[in-house]
């Protein structure tokens, strides 16, 4: 059964015809978990939760890509002072609807993840700052910076510009991490940029805002003994953003030290599957969309793992095996193919038209 048919069956009451980069205001979606103290590599996982196909492809961009941060497909989303740049770093990303980057990393080992946050407010447009339409917020960091610290310094100089289509706004917050294990969460609350910067910020879901999520987690830790887990430990078990945040934090703290990369990736995937939203959680009852795909990034060896929830196969690709020099072809792979399995680096093909 094709992916679109499955999503219509599971969430028929919640399907919207979406054109462009849109995050519907009534939905919580997605989870990100960073593992930066395994003793091996720095790895990060995320889930993408949505009611229909976001048309995910795995795309490799070489260095030297020219970007216009004001473009949204064929439209101009930033009328005044749009940011324009040429990428310094190559990247491997998963676009959303072909016009923005939902998830990905670059050759320096910096990764980004955009997740839904209903309370996002970028504030009124400040024309003194270059503007970047929301879908390219994370890609701007990937193209131009190598570390979390560099990305934070750069992102303070630009302004994300809200994208609105069909009455729905792209309200998102941004997670960053790099190959050293550094981490940051960026949110715009009441028009102000709020940054949580530090290795300790490993888990991110959705609403409420991150400071409130952290407060809820501290309250949970007073009631749940992380140091002495047992099968009787009471854990939030539903699919809300707060439940997923607390459950991901709990099980992440229990992960055993891996012996090799295979165990490390399997461990983080086990967490991402634990906090995924199953097809049996219909939107009309839960107010949350089912998980469309899961990813894991190894930031040290630059490997991207991808798991489509409507397919029984896990695939991966190595960014550093591609030609990343300026002028090289943009390479693309459609993961919606049950014939794919394991290392698919050599299954990419030249893109007829590069996304955004």
Angle at 112 between CA 106 and CA 115, to 5 degrees: 155
**Residue 296 burial by CB count (10 A; 0-12/13-18/19+): exposed, middle or buried?**
buried
What is the distance between the alpha carbons of residues 226 and 43, in angstroms, rounded to a whole number? 22
The SS3 call for residue 57 is: coil
**Catalytic-role residue among 18, 22, 24, 30:** 30
List of residues 6+ apart from 349 with CB closer than 8 A? 331, 332, 333
Instruction: Extract the tokens encoding 200.
Output: 């300790």
Instruction: Extract the tokens encoding 95.
Output: 């676009």
What is the distance between the alpha carbons of residues 334 and 59, in angstroms, rounded to a whole number? 9
List of residues 6+ apart from 346 with CB closer than 8 A? none
Q: Is 130 a catalytic residue?
A: no
What is the distance between the alpha carbons of residues 132 and 78, in angstroms, rounded to a whole number? 7
Residue 355 CA: distances (Å) to CA of 73, 81, 97, 284, 330? 9, 22, 9, 33, 9
What is the distance between the alpha carbons of residues 351 and 271, in angstroms, rounded to a whole number? 33
Q: What positions carry a catalytic annotation?
A: 30
């Amino acid at each position: 059964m094709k992916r679109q048919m499955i999503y219509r069956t599971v969430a028929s009451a919640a399907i919207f015809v979406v054109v462009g980069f849109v995050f519907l205001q009534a939905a919580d979606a997605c989870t990100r978990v960073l593992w930066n103290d395994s003793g091996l590599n720095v790895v990060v996982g995320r889930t993408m939760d949505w009611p229909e196909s976001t048309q995910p492809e795995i795309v490799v961009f070489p260095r030297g890509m020219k970007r216009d941060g004001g473009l949204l497909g064929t439209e101009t989303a930033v009328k005044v002072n749009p940011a324009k740049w040429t990428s310094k770093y190559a990247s491997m990303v998963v676009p959303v609807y072909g016009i923005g980057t939902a998830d990905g990393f670059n050759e320096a080992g910096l990764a980004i993840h955009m997740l839904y946050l209903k309370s996002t407010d970028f504030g009124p447009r400040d024309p003194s700052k270059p503007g970047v339409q929301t879908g390219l917020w994370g890609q701007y960091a990937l193209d131009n910076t190598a570390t979390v610290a560099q990305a934070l310094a750069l992102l303070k100089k630009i302004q994300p510009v809200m994208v609105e289509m069909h009455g729905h706004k792209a309200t998102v917050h941004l997670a960053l991490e790099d190959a050293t294990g550094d981490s940051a969460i960026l949110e715009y609350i009441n028009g102000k940029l709020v940054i949580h910067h530090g290795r300790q910020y490993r888990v991110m879901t959705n609403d409420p805002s991150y400071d409130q999520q952290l407060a809820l987690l501290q309250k949970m830790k007073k009631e749940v003994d992380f140091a002495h887990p047992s099968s009787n430990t009471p854990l939030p078990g539903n699919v809300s953003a707060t439940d997923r945040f607390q459950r991901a934090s709990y099980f992440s703290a229990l992960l055993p030290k891996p012996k090799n990369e295979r165990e490390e990736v399997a461990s983080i995937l086990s967490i991402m599957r634990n906090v995924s939203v199953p097809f049996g959680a219909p939107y009309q009852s839960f107010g949350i969309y089912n998980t469309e795909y899961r990813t894991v990034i190894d930031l040290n060896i630059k490997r991207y793992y991808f798991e489509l929830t409507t397919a029984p196969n896990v695939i991966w690709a190595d960014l550093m095996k591609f030609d990343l020099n300026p002028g090289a072809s943009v390479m693309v792979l459609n993961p919606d193919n049950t014939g794919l399995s394991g290392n698919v680096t050599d299954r990419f093909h030249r893109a007829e038209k590069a996304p955004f």
